[in-house]
């Protein structure tokens, strides 16, 4: 079985930097949503759908989420492919993944609940009746389809579902060619997304989102990353640069395609079925060509980017409630374009220290990372 030595050999600074970049992309997306005053000043300066309009790209910051999914498939897949998948290994794997997620989330929820009486609207009244489901992360899952207290938590049940499935995917990959597994995942994803799009009389992507993006609807994104473990490293720097440029160009082209359908994309359209798998492929290709040990992308491996990778889960968890608290505490303050811009670094100045503390005192100790923080997954 051919395995990509970039991952199996251990720590990859570039991938750690990518994780930090994914977190920052999601931060930018939520800043764009919560503090829109500056964006509204800039947008009229460009023709609608213009590739030169920087604001149009802010709205794609949510693509940090599929980047997280691809990285999870790639990195965690390397942990199971060559292992004896006995009960002991699977139990240890699952326990490690649960410790990676739940304690940090519980601390996050406890702080939100403590602040809720002091910041009106931070926690909606109806959420108090679902605290058990929130702490279990049974969010956007049947039968209740409970909405999350904090919007960013919606991705975590999907991640947890993949963690549960991954050891069995590793077992299947030993008996079936990885290409067959990948194609099977593609059909599952397309079929799932098409079913929900066609069977529901709903013209609102936000309403459809919990159904579309359950694990079957995102499985191909994880598997696109998982499949990278079976590819051989690229020997030629020239080929690697050409392929990286080509995949990045394809990624930008897909963004433009979505912009052309922007009005109908968010109301329910066939592009909701095919666009996410296409984006997953281009993201996976970029990840693969970035993660070549003989040709590292140096700026992604910079210590600051590696640090951001270490604390990326905390940044992802904390930036959104911080921005919400800022907005709810002084809603009129952020109507100024200048102050709406200031809100971004201000939120980061709060989120980064909290995320660092979460990593240092919650995530790393519980994961047993005292001596190997670089191997966090």
Q: What does 178-220 look like in DSSP terms, one character per residue?
A: HHHHHHHHHHHHHHHHHHHHHH-----HHHHHHHHTSHHHHHH
State yes or no: pLDDT of 351 exceeds 90. yes
Q: Is the peptide bond before 74 cis (omega within 30 degrees of 0)?
A: no
Answer for the pair 258, 275: CB distance below 8 angstroms, yes or no.
yes
pLDDT at 102 (0 to 100): 96
pLDDT at 5 (0 to 100): 47
The pTM (predicted TM-score) of the whole model is: 0.91
Sign of the Cα torsion 355, 139, 185, 95 reads positive
Mention every residue, 6+ apart, whose C-beta is less than 8 A from residue 113: 123, 131
Q: Each residue of 257-273: pLDDT tens digit?
A: 877 776 666 666 788 88
Q: Each residue of 218-269: pLDDT tens digit?
A: 999 999 999 999 987 776 777 777 888 888 888 888 888 877 776 666 666 7
Answer for the pair 126, 137: CB distance below 8 angstroms, yes or no.
no
| DSSP single-letter state for residue 147 | P
d(C-alpha 61, C-alpha 77), whole Å: 25
d(C-alpha 131, C-alpha 61), whole Å: 29
d(C-alpha 351, C-alpha 356), whole Å: 8
d(C-alpha 155, C-alpha 165), whole Å: 16
Helix axes 337-358, 312-329, angle to 10 degrees: 140
Question: Please, which pLDDT band fits residue 175 given cuts at 50, 70 and 90?
Answer: confident
Report CA Rg, the chain: 21
Question: Which long-range contacts does 119-125 make (Cβ < 8 Å, 24+ apart)?
Answer: 119/325, 119/328, 119/329, 120/328, 121/324, 121/328, 122/321, 122/324, 122/325, 122/328, 123/149, 124/149
d(C-alpha 54, C-alpha 32), whole Å: 11
Q: Each residue of 146-169: pLDDT tens digit?
A: 999 999 999 999 999 999 999 999
Nearest to 255 by CA among 46, 59, 26: 59
Query: What 3-state class would DSSP assign to 299?
Result: coil
* CB half-sphere exposure, 111, CA atoms < 13 A: 14
Per-domain residue ranges of the chain: 5-89+155-375
Sign of the Cα torsion 332, 338, 341, 342 reads negative
pLDDT at 374 (0 to 100): 38
Of the chain, the end-to-end C-alpha distance in Å amounts to: 23
Sign of the Cα torsion 337, 341, 344, 347 reads negative
How high is the mean pLDDT of the chain?
87
Q: Each residue of 302-338: pLDDT tens digit?
A: 999 999 999 999 999 999 999 999 999 999 999 999 9
Cα torsion 251, 257, 259, 263 to 10°: value is -140
Buried b (16+ CB within 10 A) or exposed e, 96-108: bbebbbbbbbebb
Structure-model confidence comparison of residues 142 and 207, the more confident one:
142
């Amino acid at each position: 079985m051919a395995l990509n030595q970039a991952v199996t050999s251990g720590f990859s600074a570039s991938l750690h930097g990518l994780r930090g970049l994914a977190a920052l992309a999601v931060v930018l997306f939520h800043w764009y949503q919560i503090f829109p005053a500056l964006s509204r000043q800039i947008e009229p300066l460009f023709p609608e759908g213009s590739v030169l309009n920087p604001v149009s790209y802010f709205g794609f910051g949510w693509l940090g989420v599929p980047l997280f999914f691809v990285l999870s498939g790639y990195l965690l897949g390397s942990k199971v492919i060559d292992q004896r998948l006995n009960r002991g290994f699977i139990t240890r794997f699952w326990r490690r993944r649960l410790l990676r997620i739940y304690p940090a989330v519980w601390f996050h929820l406890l702080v939100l609940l403590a602040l809720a009486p002091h910041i009106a609207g931070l926690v909606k009244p109806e959420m108090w009746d679902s605290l058990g489901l929130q702490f279990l992360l049974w969010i956007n899952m049947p039968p209740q389809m409970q909405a999350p207290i904090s919007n960013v938590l919606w991705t975590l049940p999907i991640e947890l579902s993949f963690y549960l499935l991954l050891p069995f995917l590793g077992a299947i990959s030993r008996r079936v060619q990885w290409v067959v597994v990948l194609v099977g995942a593609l059909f599952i994803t397309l079929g799932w997304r098409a079913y929900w799009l066609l069977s529901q009389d709903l013209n609102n992507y936000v309403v459809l989102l919990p159904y579309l993006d359950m694990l079957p609807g995102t499985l191909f994104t994880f598997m696109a990353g998982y499949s990278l473990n079976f590819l051989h490293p690229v020997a030629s720097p020239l080929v690697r640069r050409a392929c990286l440029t080509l995949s990045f160009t394809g990624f930008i082209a897909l963004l433009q395609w979505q912009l052309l359908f922007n009005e109908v994309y968010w109301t329910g359209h066939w592009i909701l079925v095919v666009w996410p798998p296409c984006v997953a492929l281009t993201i996976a290709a970029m990840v693969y060509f970035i993660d070549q040990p003989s040709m590292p992308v140096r700026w992604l491996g910079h210590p600051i980017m590696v640090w951001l990778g270490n604390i990326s889960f905390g940044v992802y968890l904390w930036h959104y409630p911080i921005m919400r608290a800022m907005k709810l505490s002084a809603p009129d303050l952020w109507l100024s374009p200048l102050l709406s811009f200031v809100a971004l670094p201000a939120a980061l100045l709060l989120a980064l220290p909290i995320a660092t503390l979460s990593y240092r005192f919650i995530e790393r100790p519980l994961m047993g990372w005292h001596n190997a923080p670089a191997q966090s997954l």
